[in-house]
């Protein structure tokens, strides 16, 4: 979706979830991955070591983009006393930027403030004394809407609150440098703006109580002849689609959206809360009635000036709005159609047969049909729009294992998006790698023989590190076992995760649940599979935090009653509309019933 592209430094999650150790990769806005700046060891020129400097109470480590282009000096400042970290960057034009020096300009794990996920730009200044300040506001749990889906949540989001710039010479010392950098206890407000003589203020309005000094009490005119009172709807403080992401290893929950950006001038030092409003950019949204997702539909820029005849009123003129339209999933327009194949060469029997499987053979996102004939493999390529290609034989190496073998599974061992055939049949353990043209490579043995059994109903393949590789999770009576995938080398030794017999804080379930209630699905749209427990009239899930850890139980609101005698084999969790979160589908004999997932909070009506 839309977001403000304010500079920040973040732990990278695209190729693996953060561990909050020095091995994490950092990303700076506008640059590629940051890597440590290395220099030759003075005593051994063949060895390279990170550039680290001692600076009073801090240890400074230098970084640089993986591909140089900015030619900036990027520094990671770590305080010796408590290992607190913030960042500083100095461009080739001698502009200095400070990231995350104070707590409000960070996104941190609420359970451990040392686990900082993101450092936000807090101030910039140059050699000529020009200074800009950025203020952020942390999420306020008190503003959540009541509901079962808000239980067990944490609120760690940070929002840009205001930007101050245009400081006057009174804010400089004898060396024409900016005055003392803010401490953790400083808070930007209109009074501080006046004291520091910043002439320009950009305000971001989220319709929240911390916007008390915005000109909500002022009367704004739509045109030169019509004065209307501008008020904030009281029931729209929290967005209709609050959502969460857990890729940081903890919950980052977003309750608010920006609905306007205001520009105010402070040329008159006597004005504090009544600083003149000169410009605004207003945003309008529409809500999808099924998913409750909000979409930006227009942005309007308006100018203001005080009404000469009444200083308590403004005169307003606006530019034509910029409008946006989006394609929409319309289930009422979907129609049933039979699958066809070129030359009428359809699979000879049901694809539920043990010798058939459905998998993405070519890595293009479309499910193809694969058949193990006993003497080789054949596939039907999915051409889209309900049509299959003719049957084609798979060339190259031919696996000697059948899909019906419980020790055979489909997974991605290389993280390349192609489905591989994984075999765990002692004394043979390894995999057949698939190729982009739909064939198999020669069987590759794992370097170490894993101690799990793919045929065990308590064993599941899922990505627990965010690197795209198929890890293994096994549920046991007293613990879980997590086998980390090392790619083509196989699997690490298992990590034991002790059970907690409290469903509120731990997924105390078994994958071999005879009723079929335990599932794996992405319930929040963050790209990670969560553990889901399905009951008629109640669905709980434990969000995937990575590395074998799962968050506290989240219970979804408005869970439908499917029927006390429903067949679990007919119930599916799948993303129908492309929003990323898994929807609820129940296939009956004569119809398909489904409910949209509303950002992991609730279910839509049928």
What is the per-residue pLDDT for 170? Answer: 58
Q: By C-alpha distance, which of 534, 526, 536, 510 is closest to 575?
A: 526
Structure-derived torsion over alpha carbons of residues 531, 534, 540, 541, reported in degrees to the nearest 10: 10
What is the per-residue pLDDT for 275? Answer: 66
What burial letters (b/e) apply to 124-141, b meaning 16+ CB within 10 Å? Answer: bbeeebebbbbbbbbbee
What burial letters (b/e) apply to 538-558, b meaning 16+ CB within 10 Å? Answer: ebbbbbbbbbbbbbbbbbbee
Give the integer Cα–Cα distance in Å for 173 and 506: 56
pLDDT in tens, 131-157: 899 999 998 877 777 788 888 888 899
Give the integer Cα–Cα distance in Å for 261 and 277: 11
What is the per-residue pLDDT for 225? Answer: 30
Domain map (residue ranges) of the chain: 335-499, 508-606
Give the integer Cα–Cα distance in Å for 158 and 210: 13
Give the integer Cα–Cα distance in Å for 81 and 66: 30
What is the per-residue pLDDT for 115? Answer: 96
Task: Give the residue ranges of the chain where pLDDT is below 70.
Answer: 169-196, 208-236, 268-275
What is the per-residue pLDDT for 196? Answer: 56
What is the per-residue pLDDT for 350? Answer: 87
What is the per-residue pLDDT for 565? Answer: 83
Give the integer Cα–Cα distance in Å for 552 and 508: 11
Give the integer Cα–Cα distance in Å for 94 and 92: 5
Give the integer Cα–Cα distance in Å for 411 and 94: 50
H or E segment and range at residue 369: strand 368-372
């Amino acid at each position: 979706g839309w977001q403000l592209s304010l500079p920040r430094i973040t732990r990278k999650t695209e190729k693996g979830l953060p561990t909050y150790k020095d091995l994490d990769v950092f990303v700076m806005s506008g640059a590629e991955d940051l890597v440590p700046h290395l220099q030759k060891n003075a005593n051994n020129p063949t060895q390279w070591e990170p550039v680290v400097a001692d600076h009073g109470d801090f240890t400074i480590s230098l970084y640089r983009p993986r591909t140089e282009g900015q030619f900036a000096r990027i520094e990671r400042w770590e305080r010796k006393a408590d290992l607190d970290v913030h960042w500083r960057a100095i461009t080739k034009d001698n502009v200095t930027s400070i990231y995350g020096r104070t707590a409000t300009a960070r996104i941190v794990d609420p359970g451990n403030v040392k686990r900082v996920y993101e450092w936000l730009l807090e101030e910039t200044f140059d050699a000529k004394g020009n200074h800009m300040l950025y203020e952020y506001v942390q999420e306020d749990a008190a503003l959540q809407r009541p509901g079962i889906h808000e239980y067990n949540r944490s609120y760690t989001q940070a929002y840009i609150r205001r930007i101050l710039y245009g400081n006057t010479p009174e804010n400089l010392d004898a060396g024409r440098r900016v005055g003392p950098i803010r401490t953790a206890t400083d808070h930007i407000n209109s009074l501080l703006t006046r004291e520091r003589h910043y002439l320009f203020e950009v305000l971001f309005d989220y319709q929240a109580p911390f916007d008390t000094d915005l000109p909500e009490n002022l009367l704004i005119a739509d045109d030169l002849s019509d004065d209307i009172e501008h008020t904030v709807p009281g029931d729209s403080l929290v967005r209709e689609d609050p959502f969460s992401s857990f890729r940081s290893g903890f919950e980052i929950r977003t309750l608010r959206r920006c609905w306007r950006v205001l520009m105010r001038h402070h040329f008159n030092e006597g004005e504090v809360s009544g600083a003149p409003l000169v410009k605004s950019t207003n945003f309008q949204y529409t809500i999808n009635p099924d998913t409750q997702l909000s979409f930006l539909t227009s942005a309007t820029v308006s100018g203001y000036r005080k009404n000469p005849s009444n200083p308590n009123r403004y005169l307003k003129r606006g530019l034509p709005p910029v409008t946006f339209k989006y394609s929409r999933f319309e289930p009422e327009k979907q129609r049933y159609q039979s699958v066809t194949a070129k030359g009428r060469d359809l699979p000879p029997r049901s694809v539920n047969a043990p010798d058939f499987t459905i998998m993405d053979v070519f890595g293009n996102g479309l499910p193809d049909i694969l058949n193990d004939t006993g003497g080789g493999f054949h596939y039907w390529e999915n051409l889209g729009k309900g049509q299959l290609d003719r049957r084609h034989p798979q060339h190259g190496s031919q696996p000697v294992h059948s899909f019906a073998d419980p020790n055979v599974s489909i997974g991605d061992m290389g993280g390349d998006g192609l489905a591989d055939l994984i075999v765990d049949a002692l004394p043979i353990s390894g995999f057949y790698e698939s190729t982009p043209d739909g064939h198999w490579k020669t069987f590759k043995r794992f370097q170490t023989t894993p101690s799990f059994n793919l045929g065990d109903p308590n064993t599941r393949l899922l990505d627990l590190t965010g690197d795209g590789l198929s890890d293994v999770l096994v549920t046991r009576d007293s613990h879980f076992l997590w086998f980390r995938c090392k790619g083509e080398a196989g699997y690490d030794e298992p990590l034991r995760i002790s059970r907690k017999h409290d469903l509120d804080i731990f997924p105390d379930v078994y994958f071999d649940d005879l009723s079929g209630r335990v599932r794996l699905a992405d319930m929040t749209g963050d790209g990670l599979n969560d553990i889901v427990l399905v009951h008629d009239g109640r669905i709980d899930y434990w969000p995937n935090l990575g590395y074998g850890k799962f968050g506290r139980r989240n219970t979804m609101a408005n869970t439908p009653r499917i029927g006390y005698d429903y067949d679990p084999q007919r119930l599916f969790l799948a993303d129908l509309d492309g929003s990323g979160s898994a929807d609820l589908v129940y296939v009956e004999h004569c119809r398909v019933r489904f409910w949209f997932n509303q950002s992991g909070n609730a279910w839509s009506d049928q």
